[in-house]
């Protein structure tokens, strides 16, 4: 995931005529986020945990999902049961709503012939927030946030916190994975999961259980055709992307595994990465925001050991 | 654009067994944004202006772009010259970067054989901010914002304002359309335009000229395959989506026109739409955010006269 966000220089004709105007740089030249990342040490990264990594394999490729069991232990336990019993294999992606979510599960889940849940539970208590003691390696982000009294990163996940209520929760940034539910708080079970594909719908925070986020493969979800029915569900005659399988990385033979590592958000270098995004330097940037919205603070992810 | 954002009810088996548990509603039932919109009067909407609406016609369909000349008069004048002289016809979309932008223009723009700009300028002064007196019908949004001292809507566009500097600017919310540039502030001219396809990159605000936003057709841009090169540019051997034509609506025969109208952001009902999103009611919502981030406050757009 490239963090460099400058726009391509379009001024070749100017260069060709030797007329490039030397504007006084308004901002000091500072290292970009990608330049900061290049200075990282191997110890600044942690490998993903095979016991908490899901592979959503589609005919078009693999979506890798990192689970955060500290934030949703019961829902994740149920999802692992579903996965272990091959519940998702052969099901499909049933919803793609522009600037919102892609959602997968049983296309017949709401008919009178739903797929058997096996030994998994049909209803799991919503884990919309958990005790603040659950979040590991929490590092506060200093920027103010409209949706949470406090924000930061916990083991790499963007989280909100309410220090008064002593609660913490995973936020709905782009790539967050959550548990669809009906009106009742315990009506979700993990049989339908969604990933955020657009601008962060943070109003969902504390309203629904978030279980993790997509580490790799987001374009496989974001480029799906949008469903024509309400909320982006596909109609009966629309082609749905089939799910080849959903597996826990720990159950996948080594030769078939993906190998990702995530920057440790508790490592000092991560604060430098955030600062490089909070106050971008010249020569492209002319105005430094001195602010970094939580969902613009993306955590660096890479294939293991690759720069 | 559906504003309703509830998740599909998954509790059919529960209903079938008549076991639906009556949880005490934690939030009062309030009208949703889409319910508020249904109460609008015809006078709450304004038709788009043919002199400031662009059609980006692709083989897959039409992208409708509303220009905001109050915010970028010089850049928009140059774009209109390019459009009038058919500059974009036959060019292509050259960049699709995940969770960021799609960008179009001349694929040979940086070679020694760029397409002629005709009578259009190759360099236009960057209009990153304009005097506050430029923004028409400004209505302040009360929510705090990290990227701007003041936010609101001006004639339907989400804007930032600095009352001390007395400047205003269009913000980089999802669907914003801007003028790509190199390092020099005047190195953009409108020959390469981009649309924001992901989470709002608000750090670009006040750094680049925004000229408008996509009113219709965003999925045609967001579902494009991502480019494999740096920043999502397509490689030489990757298929690019060709541009059939870019035309000003005023130059298009009536029979070929699209007919959109936009809710007037200065109409009192728009504040109700925002409030419905700021504090969602039950029964689905369990926690009301009491906050609405600027880029989550989408302006209602519809085909003229259709509910």
Instruction: Report the pLDDT value the prediction gives residue A37, as an integer from 0 to 100.
Output: 96
Residue B1 has pLDDT above 70, yes or no: no
Put simply, whether B146 touches A (Cβ < 8 Å) is yes
Put simply, whether A100 touches B (Cβ < 8 Å) is yes
Answer for the pair A289, B203: CB distance below 8 angstroms, yes or no: yes
**Structural fold of domain B50-259:** Cyclophilin (2.40.100)
Q: Measure the CA–CA gap between A76 and A56, rounded to whole angstroms.
A: 15
Residue B136 has pLDDT above 80, yes or no: yes
User: What stretch of H or E contains B80?
Assistant: helix B73-84
In which residue are the tokens 């076991």 written? B19
Put simply, whether A296 touches B (Cβ < 8 Å) is yes
For testing the chain B interface, which of A1, A10, A123 should be mutated: the one with the most B CBs within 10 Å? A10
CA atoms within 13 A on the CB side of A186: 11
Q: Measure the CA–CA gap between A15 and B90, rounded to whole angstroms.
A: 26
Chain A contacts of B128, Cβ < 8 Å?
286-287
Q: Give how far B175 is from chain A: nearest CA, Å.
A: 10
Write phi, then psi, for A205 (nearest 5 degrees). Answer: -55, 140
Average pLDDT over residues A244-271: 97
Cβ–Cβ below 8 Å for B207 and A1: no
Cβ–Cβ below 8 Å for B174 and A198: yes
Q: Measure the CA–CA gap between B285 and B279, rounded to whole angstroms.
A: 9
Average pLDDT over residues A273-277: 97
Q: Measure the CA–CA gap between B68 and B138, rounded to whole angstroms.
A: 13
In b/e form, how buried is each residue of B35-53, taking b as 16+ CB within 10 angstroms? ebbeebeeebbbebeeebb
Scanning every residue of chain B, which has its alpha carbon at the shortest distance from the alpha carbon of A116?
A: B13
Q: What angle do CA B95, B98, B99 make, to 5 degrees?
A: 120
Q: Which of A15-29, A122-136, B38-52, B201-215 has the lowest mean pLDDT?
A: A15-29
Q: Give how far A77 is from chain B: nearest CA, Å.
A: 19
Tell me the CATH number for domain A49-260.
Answer: 2.40.100.10
For testing the chain A interface, which of B149, B171, B184 should be mutated: the one with the most A CBs within 10 Å? B184
- Give me B41's structure tokens: 């009067």
Q: How confident is the model at residue B307 (pLDDT cuts 50, 70, 90)?
A: low
Instruction: Report the pLDDT value the prediction gives residue A110, as an integer from 0 to 100.
Output: 86
In which residue are the tokens 């009491």 written? B290
B299 compared with B177, residue with greater pLDDT = B177
Cβ–Cβ below 8 Å for A226 and B230: no
Q: What DSSP string describes A99-128?
A: TSEEEEE-TTTTSSSPPP-TTS-S-----S
Instruction: Report the pLDDT value the prediction gives residue A22, as an integer from 0 to 100.
Output: 36
- Give me A194's structure tokens: 């969604």
Domain ranges of chain A: 19-45+264-303, 49-260
Residue A187 has pLDDT above 90, yes or no: yes
Chain A contacts of B221, Cβ < 8 Å?
none
Instruction: Report the pLDDT value the prediction gives residue B298, as an integer from 0 to 100.
Output: 81
Cβ–Cβ below 8 Å for A8 and B223: no
DSSP H helical ranges for chain A: 12-16, 33-38, 73-84, 218-222, 268-278
Among A151, A167, B264, smallest CA distance to A159 is for: A151
Average pLDDT taken over every residue of chain A: 91
Q: How confident is the model at residue B19 (pLDDT cuts 50, 70, 90)?
A: very low
Residue A5 has pLDDT above 90, yes or no: no
Instruction: Report the pLDDT value the prediction gives residue A307, as an integer from 0 to 100.
Output: 56
Q: What DSSP string describes A247-266?
A: EEGGGS-GGG---EEEE-TT
Average pLDDT over residues A16-41: 71
Q: Could you read off the pLDDT of A133-155 as tens digits, one per residue?
A: 999 899 999 999 999 999 999 99
A218: left (phi over 0), alpha (psi -120 to 50) or beta: alpha
Task: List A residues 196-235 in contact with B (Cβ-Cβ < 8 A).
Answer: 198-208, 218-219, 222-226, 230-233
Average pLDDT over residues A214-243: 97
Put simply, whether A291 touches B (Cβ < 8 Å) is yes
Q: How confident is the model at residue B151 (pLDDT cuts 50, 70, 90)?
A: very high
Cβ–Cβ below 8 Å for A202 and B295: no
Q: What ipTM is given for this predicted complex?
A: 0.92
Q: Which of A22-36, A279-293, B162-176 has the lowest mean pLDDT?
A: A22-36
State whether residue A15 is helix, strand or coil: helix
Q: Could you read off the pLDDT of B79-96 as tens digits, one per residue?
A: 999 999 999 999 999 999
pTM for the whole thing? 0.92
pLDDT above 90 covers a percentage of chain B that reads: 88
Q: Measure the CA–CA gap between B93 and B197, rounded to whole angstroms.
A: 13
């Amino acid at each position: 995931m490239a963090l460099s966000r400058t726009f391509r220089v379009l001024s070749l004709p100017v260069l060709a005529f030797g007329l490039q105007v030397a504007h006084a740089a308004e901002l000091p030249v500072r290292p970009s986020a990608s330049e900061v990342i290049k200075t990282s040490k191997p110890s600044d990264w942690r490998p993903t945990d095979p016991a908490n990594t899901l592979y959503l394999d589609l005919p078009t490729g693999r979506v890798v999902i990192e689970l955060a069991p500290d934030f949703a232990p019961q829902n994740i336990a149920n999802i692992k049961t579903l996965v272990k019993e091959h519940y998702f294999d052969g099901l499909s992606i049933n919803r793609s709503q522009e600037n919102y979510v892609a959602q997968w599960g049983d296309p017949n889940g709401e008919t009178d012939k739903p797929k058997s849940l096996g030994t998994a539970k049909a209803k799991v208590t919503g884990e919309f927030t958990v005790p603040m003691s659950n979040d590991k390696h929490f590092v506060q982000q200093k920027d103010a946030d409209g949706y949470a009294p406090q924000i930061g990163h916990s083991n790499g996940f963007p989280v909100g916190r309410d220090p008064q209520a002593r609660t913490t929760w995973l936020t709905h940034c782009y790539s967050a994975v959550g548990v669809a539910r009906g009106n009742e708080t315990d009506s979700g079970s993990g049989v339908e999961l969604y990933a955020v594909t657009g601008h962060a719908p943070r109003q969902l925070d504390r309203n629904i259980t978030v279980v993790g986020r997509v580490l790799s493969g987001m374009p496989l979800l974001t480029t799906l055709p949008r469903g024509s029915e309400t909320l982006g569900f596909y109609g009966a005659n629309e082609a749905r992307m089939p799910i080849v399988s959903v597996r826990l990385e720990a159950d996948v033979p080594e030769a078939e595994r993906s190998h990702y590592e995530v920057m440790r958000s508790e490592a000092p270098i991560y604060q430098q990465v955030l600062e490089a995004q909070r106050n971008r330097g010249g020569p492209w940037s002319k105005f430094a925001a001195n602010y970094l919205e939580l969902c613009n603070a993306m955590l660096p992810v890479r294939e293991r050991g690759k720069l």
